[in-house]
């Protein structure tokens, strides 16, 4: 058994000791760290929560590989980052096995219960009812995280560490407690989160009861029910989650709050190995997530369009660069609305969407000087026949060149706001990612159609985009992000910032971001874009909306000599890249 958390690196101690008054963001230790990556020679982990990062580094030091560390981080985040880290949700993982020269995708997306129906999120008038899909048991998908992490360990783990070894640090954190971070305290102090969790006595008692209110930074939070659940999973494997008392507790809670889940739904859940979607950009190979995530297809589609445009020449975040990126983004999101869904239920025209010919066609329709109104953009027509925001991402690279890019989620912050009684498991509301009704946007404003309609045992469409970029067949960049509909464009900009604009991985992470998802008809931007640039974009016909920061990328870049450069996104307090 590995003694958990036996090493707290200097940088971790520095992060945890920064006072809220002394720093604008807990992830930034100094004014320089925002633009300079963390350097390591042997292994590196970058995640949204510092304790979980340290768990991953400890696993690497103890002889585990990147997949072992990723599994351990996944379980640790379920304890220390409860709004997104989870065992009650699902996600996607890209794994590169250096010895086998193999890159695979693991799909552990939640599924709809067998009893789900196409009209279950509609009211009596036939209109979409967001309360049903977002705040009731109907919105809960069959969780996939435990099966997904188990598949990763079984298929790609080092063999040096047992399943129980990898869960042990999370059990210790849950049983003995951990200091509440500024980020966790701030999250729980949000009026929206308090109201969200107050609907469920079990959830409210876990997060507010022990501290008689919002826990202050430094308060030692324990999760005894979750510790018991994790111990059962460590002892008996994933079946302890999908069968028996834990499964019954999940089903009982879902159905008591309006859902339609059965024990058979849980017992029958399977994580799936899939081939990644592959593309090329400026001499690099990009491996990302295939459907039922839309992330990989549309990331590569946008890169294909940009590959023939002079964005490097125009410069980082210039008006012309933003204009061209916006035009490419909006067309990809229009295609997403019509063509993407669970490939086990619909024919996704993936080869056409990521083809150079289609990219040439789309690129030819872009005016370099004027914005195209969304009303004039329509999804493309494939040839026939055809073959959060609350999520979290982490990246891992080990000494042997193995790499993991993993994104998982509960959908909303703290999911549906329900905890399965006696288990400590926060449940997801991922079924809101289905199209409740064609043409009606989901919580992230994304439009969907029949391809993403609700059906029993079907996986809802996602935007999660865990990605590994290769140069000369070796891992070059591992990245991904949370952010709901904005995940695809966030990951895109990390890649473009590094490859086209020559930024180091930390500067690429810190650079202001933009987003265009076709509808609404606007370019969303972060603060930091020049007012002159905004004015030029508006002169080109764009509507520009200044909004909150987007994403929380966790990235690792591998230099030609094998040095690891890590960057945790400063947009989320408490994120940490660390290595050795």
3-state secondary structure of 189: helix
Query: Is the separation of the CB atoms in 123 and 116 below 8 Å?
Result: no
Phi, psi of 181 (to 5 degrees): -80, 165
- What is the 8-class DSSP label of residue 468? E
SS (H, E, C) 366-387: CCCCCCCCHHHCCCCCCCCCCC
Is 81 assigned a ligand-binding role in the annotation? no
Element (DSSP H or E) covering residue 139: none
**Residues of 206-219 as b/e, b for ≥16 C-beta within 10 angstroms?**
bbbebeeebbebee
Tokens 């500024």 belong to 182
By the 8 A CB rule, do 463 and 294 touch? yes
What's the token pair of residue 148?
A: 């997904």
Q: Judge whether 25 is annotated as a binding position.
A: no
Distance CA 247, CA 6 (A): 33
Cβ partners under 8 Å of residue 32, min gap 6: none
User: Has 34 been labeled as part of a binding site?
Assistant: no
CA 140 distance to own-chain centroid:
18
Cα–Cα dist 290/297, whole Å:
6
The Cα–Cα gap between 255 and 224 comes to 24
The reply to whether 109 sits in an annotated binding site is yes
Does 411 show up as a binding residue in the annotation?
yes
Cis before residue 292, ω within 30 degrees of 0? Answer: yes
409 is annotated as contributing to ligand binding: yes
470, β-bridge pairs: 285, 475
Tokens 């990147």 sit on residue: 66
Separation between Cα atoms, residue 124 and residue 1, nearest integer Å: 55
Alpha carbon separation from 38 to 16, 138, 244, 578 (Å, rounded): 17, 43, 44, 7
Q: Which two tokens stand for residue 440?
A: 């009606």
DSSP state of 530: -
For residue 357, the Cα-to-chain-centroid distance in whole angstroms is 30
The continuous run of DSSP H or E covering 136 comes out as: none
- Which is nearest to 554 in space by CA: 464, 493, 481, 462? 481
Residue 320 annotated as binding site: no
Cis peptide before 421 (omega within 30 of 0): no
H/E element, 284: strand 284-288
Catalytic-labelled residue, pool 80, 391, 467, 479: 391
463 is in an annotated binding site: yes
Evaluated on CA atoms 283, 38, 186, 409, the torsion sign reads: positive
Question: Is 559 designated active site?
Answer: no
- Residues with active-site annotation: 391
Binding site for L-glutamate: what residues are annotated? 109, 409-411, 433, 462-463, 484
Which residues are part of a known binding site? 109, 409-411, 433, 462-463, 484
């Amino acid at each position: 058994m590995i003694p958990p958390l036996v090493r707290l690196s200097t940088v971790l101690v520095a992060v945890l000791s920064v006072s809220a008054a002394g720093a604008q963001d807990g992830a930034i230790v100094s004014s320089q760290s925002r633009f300079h990556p963390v350097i390591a020679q042997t292994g590196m982990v970058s995640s949204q929560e510092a304790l979980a990062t340290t768990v991953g580094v400890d696993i690497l030091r103890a002889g585990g590989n990147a997949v072992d560390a990723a599994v351990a981080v996944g379980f640790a985040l379920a304890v220390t980052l409860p709004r997104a880290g989870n065992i009650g949700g699902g996600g996607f993982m890209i794994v590169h096995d250096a010895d086998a020269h193999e890159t695979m995708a693991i799909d552990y997306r939640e599924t709809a219960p067998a009893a789900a129906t196409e009209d279950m999120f509609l009211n009596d008038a036939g209109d979409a009812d967001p309360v049903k899909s977002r705040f009731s048991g109907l919105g809960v998908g069959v969780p996939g995280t435990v099966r997904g992490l188990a598949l990763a360990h079984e298929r790609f783990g080092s063999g040096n560490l047992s399943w129980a070894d990898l869960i042990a640090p999370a059990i210790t954190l849950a049983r003995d407690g951990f200091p509440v971070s500024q980020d966790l305290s701030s999250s729980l102090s949000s009026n929206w989160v308090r109201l969200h969790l107050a609907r469920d006595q079990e959830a409210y008692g876990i997060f507010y009861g022990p501290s008689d209110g919002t826990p202050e930074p430094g308060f030692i939070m324990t999760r005894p029910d979750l510790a018991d659940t994790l111990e059962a999973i460590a002892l008996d494997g994933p079946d302890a989650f999908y069968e028996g008392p834990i499964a019954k507790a999940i089903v009982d809670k879902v159905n008591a709050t309006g859902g339609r889940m059965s024990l058979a739904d849980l017992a029958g859940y399977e994580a799936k190995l899939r081939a990644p979607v592959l593309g090329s950009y400026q001499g690099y190979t990009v491996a990302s997530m295939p459907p039922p995530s839309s992330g990989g297809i549309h990331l590569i589609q946008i890169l294909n369009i940009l590959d023939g445009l002079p964005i490097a020449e125009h410069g980082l975040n210039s008006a012309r660069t933003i204009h061209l990126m916006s035009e490419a983004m909006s067309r990809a999101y229009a295609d997403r609305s019509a063509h993407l869904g669970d490939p086990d239920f619909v024919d996704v025209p993936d080869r056409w969407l990521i083809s150079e010919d289609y990219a040439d066609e789309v690129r030819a329709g872009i005016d370099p000087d004027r914005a195209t109104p969304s009303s004039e953009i329509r999804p493309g027509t494939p040839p026939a026949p055809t073959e959060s925001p609350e999520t979290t991402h982490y990246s891992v690279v080990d000494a042997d060149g193995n790499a993991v890019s993993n994104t998982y989620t509960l959908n909303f912050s703290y999911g549906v706001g329900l905890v399965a009684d006696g288990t400590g498991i926060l449940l997801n509301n991922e079924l809101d990612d289905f199209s409740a009704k064609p043409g009606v946007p989901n919580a992230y404003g994304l439009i969907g159609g029949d391809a993403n309609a609700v059906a029993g045992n079907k996986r809802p469409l996602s935007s999660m985009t865990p990605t590994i970029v290769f140069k000369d067949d070796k891992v070059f960049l591992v990245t991904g992000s949370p952010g709901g509909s904005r995940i695809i464009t966030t990951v895109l900009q990390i890649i473009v910032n590094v490859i086209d604009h020559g930024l180091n991985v930390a500067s690429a992470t810190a650079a202001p971001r933009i987003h265009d998802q076709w509808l609404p008809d606007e370019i969303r931007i972060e603060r930091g874009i020049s007012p002159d640039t905004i004015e030029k974009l508006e002169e080109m016909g764009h509507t520009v909306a200044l909004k909150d920061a987007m994403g929380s990328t966790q990235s690792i870049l591998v230099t030609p000599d094998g040095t690891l450069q890590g960057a945790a996104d400063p947009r989320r307090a408490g994120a940490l890249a660390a290595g050795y």
